[in-house]
Amino acid sequence: QITSNEIQVVTVQKERTAAILDFSSRNGEVFENNLFSAKHILDVAGIPYVVSSSVATVQNYPFVLCTSWLDSVAFTAFEDSVISNYVKNGGIIILPRMKNNDLKFVFGIDGYANSNTRYQMSWNMSSNDASLRWFDDTLEQKISLGRNNNPTIFDTRSYITTTASPLAFYEDGGVAITKNQFGSGYAYALGMSIKDLILRPQLNLDYNAQRTFSNGFEPSSDVFILWIKALFAQHVPYAVWKHTSPADTKATIMMTHDIDAAT
């Protein structure tokens, strides 16, 4: 038998916990690259989370990070209504590569254009959006998606907006990331797959996105983790996360060797 105190504890835990909505299998993704990347984002940010492929389950959490695109075929009409009501009633959802025509009004988007020749993304710092508060370096404010001497890189999507506000732009002026208030909640759309943002550079398949050869500051992948963390802090009351250094220390020193030395 569950007591009222136990119910209250569970409720408080859910109020401060994120949910990963995993649609990898329904989208026919052979590997779990996007799921790995979503977990990595929240693990590094120190945000507590659950993983579920059920829309009915994740609607009970205040903050939902989707692993993959949600199209009109993958979603049922009932699931569309659950997502719509979730955001309308105060939920936060972050979705990569938005292409669900039945949810365009929730995201404030009317269309999109794909391209594999976009090499940079700049955050819309003039918006003064709270989610950009930790980007205090120019290398964080403009990031590299791939080196422009490649004829093509991974596919990106720019959005045609209606009510959504742009949070980031590509170098061609296309809108890379959007924010839309719908009811009491917010829906965010990314123009890139999160596996391309997180896993690809870890596998050294990032189209030489690094801007310095060695010993340089390259936050292009890290900024998305900081952005998600800032969103969580912005939208989840009394949000908590793990400290960035063990035992509440001020900093951590990591010592290594020259891992690419030829001698």
Share of the chain above pLDDT 70, in %: 95
Q: Please, what is the end-to-end C-alpha distance for the chain in angstroms?
A: 65
Extract the tokens encoding 36.
Answer: 């790995």
Q: Mean of the pLDDT values across residues 5-12?
A: 46
Q: What is the pLDDT of residue 118?
A: 98
Mean pLDDT of the chain: 91
Confidence grade of residue 10 (pLDDT, cut at 50, 70, 90): very low
Q: Which of 10-19, 212-221, 227-236 shows the highest mean pLDDT?
A: 227-236
How far, in whole angstroms, is CA 139 from its chain's centroid? 19
Q: Is the pLDDT score of 13 beyond 70?
A: no
Give the model confidence (pLDDT) of 190-210 as tens digits. 999 999 999 999 999 999 999
Place of tokens 């590569």: 97
Extract the tokens encoding 207.
Answer: 């189209």
Q: Mean of the pLDDT values across residues 140-164?
A: 97
Q: What is the pLDDT of residue 144?
A: 97
Least confident of 53-62, 66-75, 219-228, 237-246: 66-75
Q: Mean of the pLDDT values across residues 3-11?
A: 46
Pairing of strands 18-21, 49-52: parallel
Q: Is the pLDDT score of 186 beyond 50?
A: yes
Q: What is the dihedral of CA 78, 82, 84, 89, to 10 degrees?
A: 150
Confidence grade of residue 259 (pLDDT, cut at 50, 70, 90): confident
Give the model confidence (pLDDT) of 210-220 as tens digits. 999 888 899 99
Q: State the pTM of this model.
A: 0.91
Q: Is the pLDDT score of 5 beyond 60?
A: no
Give the model confidence (pLDDT) of 165-179 as tens digits. 999 999 999 999 999
Residue closest to 45 by CA, chosen among 225, 195, 198:
225
Q: Mean of the pLDDT values across residues 50-54?
A: 95
Q: What is the pLDDT of residue 14?
A: 82
Q: Is the pLDDT score of 225 beyond 60?
A: yes
CA distance 144 to 123: 12
Confidence grade of residue 6 (pLDDT, cut at 50, 70, 90): very low
Q: Mean of the pLDDT values across residues 71-77?
A: 79
Give the model confidence (pLDDT) of 90-125 as tens digits. 999 999 999 889 999 999 999 999 999 999 999 999
How far, in whole angstroms, is CA 234 from its chain's centroid? 14
Q: Is the pLDDT score of 46 beyond 80?
A: yes
Q: What is the pLDDT of residue 90?
A: 95
What string of DSSP letters covers 92-139?
EEEEES-B-GGGHHHHTEEEEEEES---EEEE-GGG--GGGTT--SHH
> Which residues have a Cβ under 8 Å from the Cβ of 238 and sit 6 or more positions away?
16
